[in-house]
Amino acid sequence: MTLSHTGTRVVSILVLLFAVPLIQGGIPALLSRWGWTSSGSPGIVNFSGLLLVASALALLAWILTTTLRQLPFLPPRVALGLRPPKLVQTGPYA
């Protein structure tokens, strides 16, 4: 099975904008219910977790930008498999 440049772009965007945040955001959202104060407001641990969430979102944006910048250097059709046609060595992968 192969994907075109457009297909690769669409799959990359869908995975990085929907699948990854669903997994990386869904699990912490479930765990965040613990640590609330008796008055119903988030505790200090939950507020400190926002720093981790913000840094993870920034890293995901950096990964998406780096990946999309490398698409013009790929062949017209990309075969799906375990060996990438081009190894990204810039951005967060450097």
What are the percentages of helix, strand and coil residues in the chain, rounded to 5? 65, 10, 30
Average pLDDT, consecutive stretches of 10 residues, N- to C-terminus, the chain (94 residues): 83 84 78 74 75 86 90 85 86 87
pTM score > 0.85 for this model? no
The SS3 call for residue 29 is helix
> Quick one: pLDDT at residue 62?
94
Query: Domain map of the chain by residue range?
Result: 2-93
Helix 5-14 × helix 44-70 angle, to 10°: 180
Q: Read off φ and ψ for residue 36, nearest 5 degrees.
A: -85, 150
> Quick one: pLDDT at residue 2?
82
